[in-house]
Amino acid sequence: MVGSPSLKRALVVAFILTAVVPVVAIGFICFEFLKRDIVCSVTTSNLALARSVAGEVESQLREPMNVLRHVAEIAEMRSSAPTGTLDRFLESEQKISGYFDSLFVLDRRGCVSHVALGQREGAHPEDYRGLEMSNLDVYRDARKACDLRWSPTFISMSSGEPTMTIALPFDGGTVLGNLSLKGLARIAERAGNGIVGTVFVVNRKGRVIAHPDHRLVAEQYNLGNMEIVQRGLKGEAGTFRYAVGGSPKLGSVVRIERTGWAVVVEKDEATVYAPVRRLQGIFLGGLLATILVGIVGAFLSLGRILRPVSCLIESVQRIAGGWYDFTPPPASYREVDDLAASFSLMAAAVREREELLRERNEELVMTEEELRQQIDEYQKSQDELSVTNQTLQTTFGASPLAMVTVDRDGVVTMWNGAASRIFGWNPEEVMGAFLPILLDGGEGALADRVLATDRSVAGMELTCLRRDGSPVSVSLSAAPLCNVREEPSGVITISADVTDRKRAEADIRRLNAELELRVAERTTQLETANRELESFSYSVSHDLRAPLRHIDGFSLALLEDCGDSLTAQGGEYLKRIRSAAGRMGQLIDDLLELSRVSRGAVFYEPVDLSRTVRSLAAELAEAEPTRQVSFEIEDHVVVNGDTRLLRIVLANLIGNAWKYTGRNEQALIRFGATEIDGVRAMFVSDNGAGFDMSYYDKLFGPFQRLHAATDFEGTGIGLATVQRIIHRHGGRVWAEAAVGRGATFYFSLP
């Protein structure tokens, strides 16, 4: 046709437009998305970093506050202790924690009573003792609030580092600590190492307290005029654009709520957008190369495309003339080859139409036979379903348990005979009725819940109402029913009457309560009798001392004044009387000790048992310097208990070990701690005489001795005292031994 445009020219123009326009559009969109994503990423990462630094700063401040609370607790407990004791504790706490430049304990008037100055040069604790600090704002704020308070930050004159004072009141006074904030600079530097930017912290007045440039910290440089700092100090958290000295910045700020400080993460916008500018240059160069390659490629490929199209046009013209033997053009592009194949198929389609119709008829006959078979199978399955349904109906009616089904609206659809017996309603009365109304919120409410949650319930005990209004206790299980599409269609409930069982359980609970009351009354009576017995023992022990002193004194007077006139046998009798009086005196002392450990209060505190054992060993060695006894004492065995009572325990155990190794030339006594069945236990062992474990039941009884008095002296009260003290601590004591192979005594404390 005259005036029709050239396909070749149109394809070239379309090819170039198709290649260039999408690239330009996609590139522009990508740049915008990339720019937005970079800003979003920097905003998110900066804000996350600021929050992380704020959290780390709060964490760094939390531990010193805990240390100050601990110091306040110790100061309150040791308010009556000597000055040096609490000073040494303060110095130890300051040195171990490393948080505070100095610690002060003030009395109720606000004067320094105890102080720890650390390594401060030229300062001495006595220079501060008695100094009045009640004029400090932080002291007054803390006393007024009765809680921990801190001062504004300042530069310490001694360390040159940013510092703030923390005050914590207690009943007996106030604890002050000068907290060094030099750790904030390390946090800011560490956080800024992984980014191209700056991380710094300002106080509530906008003054720098942590910055990579330490000069700004030392000068307390004020950044309060910066917009981002002002926003942060007002409590706004986020990322903002602003300018510093004409340079655009992108920064994130977070406020530390505990102190009112602000953490700022700052970056130059030029640094943030640098990747976008680099990609922009790469894209423009790639776009120009794409256009040039597109133009050259279009001209080269169009010739190959149009040649097979011309051959295809000639073949189509022959088909239009009635010649259906289609001759395809030479192979070229896949689309052209597909078009040629389609024309070839079109020519052959007419010849194949009758054959296809015949095959369709045969397929219809086969389909009809398959449908007939499926109908027969369906009828068979319906018969089986009917038998199964009849079996279920019989089981439902004969079940001794109440079985009820409801639909999704809570309307009763099935009600068996057992349900009628338990609840009093006949099936004719309840079919089609609303179950929650019939059962007054018991079983009906549970069915509603199963419908709402689509979950089964098993073994739930409820109290429902019968038709006549009387209560009935049931154990109920419920499960949702589903239709063929696995959709919830209702609920089935199964209930058993447990009224008799509940009544029996109530009787058992009543009897148990009566039994517990009787046991409590009997326990009270026994405790009263024990207290009276202990009081009697204490009184008798005291009353026996006076006559015993008279017997011993007059016996001694007879020996000294009339010794020459006495016969040898008379003198021996007097010596035996004095010896018996001495043993009786020791027995009375032991009884008094046993009474005291049973009556006094128990004061719990950390007790270094290793130090106590060393002290006892030194006393024994000093009393008998001629004996050769080796001690193996484990270090730092510390428990929580009463110092005086635990010393009595160890004195008895170590004293027994010393006594029963008296016949050994190489005596060995060991003390330490071990773990037995997951419980920490302390032990005292020796290689002495030991004892027969068959008499173990008598070991801790008062006045019970497993050795003759002629072999080893003693009253039999010591181990009873040990057991009494350990039991008062809530612990346990036991022993292992063999005759001639020594003994080991264990005790555990909670």
Q: Residue ranges per domain, the chain?
A: 45-272, 399-497, 499-599, 601-748
Closest CA to 47 of 262, 266, 238, 272: 238
> The domain 601-748 is classified under which CATH number: 3.30.565.10, 3.40.50.300, 3.50.50.60, 3.30.70.1140?
3.30.565.10
Phi, psi angle pair for 220, to nearest 5°:
50, 50
- Whether the pLDDT of residue 730 is over 80: the answer is yes
CA distance 554 to 559: 9
Q: Which CATH class is domain 399-497?
A: alpha beta
Long-range contacts of 210-215 (CB under 8 A, 24+ apart): 210/162, 210/181, 210/184, 210/185, 211/185, 212/185, 212/188, 214/185
Amino acid at 474: V
Q: CB neighbours of 744 closer than 8 A, spacing ≥ 6?
A: 683, 684, 685, 686, 735, 736, 737
| Confidence band of 1 (pLDDT split at 50, 70, 90) | very low
pLDDT for residue 133: 84
pLDDT for residue 554: 66
Give residue-wise pLDDT tens across range 593-643: 665 666 667 889 999 999 999 999 999 899 888 888 999 999 999 999 999
Beta strands in 367-420 (DSSP E): 402-407, 412-415
Hey, do 45-272 and 399-497 end up sharing a CATH topology, with the first three levels equal?
yes
Do residues 312 and 336 lie in contact, with contact meaning Cβ atoms separated by under 8 Å? yes
- Whether the pLDDT of residue 504 is over 80: the answer is yes
Give residue-wise pLDDT tens across range 174-215: 888 877 777 777 777 776 666 667 888 888 888 888 887 778
- Whether the pLDDT of residue 748 is over 60: the answer is yes
> The domain 499-599 is classified under which CATH number: 3.65.10.10, 3.20.20.150, 1.10.287.130, 3.40.47.10?
1.10.287.130
Instruction: Say which residue, 225 or 736, is predicted with more confidence.
Output: 736
User: In the sheet that 471-482 helps form, which strands lie side by side, from edge to edge?
Assistant: 412-415, 402-407, 488-497, 471-482, 457-465
Phi, psi angle pair for 146, to nearest 5°:
55, 35
CA distance 643 to 33: 73
Do residues 629 and 669 lie in contact, with contact meaning Cβ atoms separated by under 8 Å? yes
C-alpha angle 306/311/316, rounded to 5°? 120
CA distance 573 to 577: 6
Q: CB neighbours of 158 closer than 8 A, spacing ≥ 6?
A: 101, 120, 121, 123
Q: What share of the chain is helix, strand, coil (3-state, %, to 5)?
A: 55, 20, 25
Give residue-wise pLDDT tens across range 11-64: 666 666 676 677 677 777 776 777 677 777 777 777 777 787 777 787 777 788
Task: Give the DSSP letter of residue 698.
Answer: G
C-alpha angle 674/680/686, rounded to 5°? 40
Q: CB neighbours of 26 closer than 8 A, spacing ≥ 6?
A: none
Give residue-wise pLDDT tens across range 347-403: 666 556 656 767 777 777 788 788 888 887 878 877 777 787 777 777 777 788 888
Q: CB neighbours of 591 closer than 8 A, spacing ≥ 6?
A: 537, 541, 717
CA distance 403 to 477: 10
Let me know if 167 is exposed, middle or buried by CB neighbors in 10 A (0-12, 13-18, 19+).
buried
Q: What's the sign of the alpha-carbon dihedral 68, 73, 74, 79?
A: positive
> In the CATH hierarchy, which fold is given to the domain comprising 45-272?
Beta-Lactamase (3.30.450)
Q: What are the residues facing 673 on neighbouring strands?
A: 682
Closest CA to 150 of 131, 132, 137: 137
Other Cβ atoms within 10 Å of 140 Cβ, number? 14
Residue 91 half-sphere exposure, CB side, CA atoms within 13 Å? 12
Do residues 637 and 672 lie in contact, with contact meaning Cβ atoms separated by under 8 Å? yes
Phi, psi angle pair for 660, to nearest 5°:
-80, -5
Q: List the structure tokens of 570.
A: 């008379």
pLDDT for residue 685: 95
Give residue-wise pLDDT tens across range 647-695: 889 988 998 899 888 888 889 999 999 999 999 999 999 998 888 888 7
CA distance 570 to 576: 10
Do residues 670 and 632 lie in contact, with contact meaning Cβ atoms separated by under 8 Å? yes
Residue 272 half-sphere exposure, CB side, CA atoms within 13 Å? 24
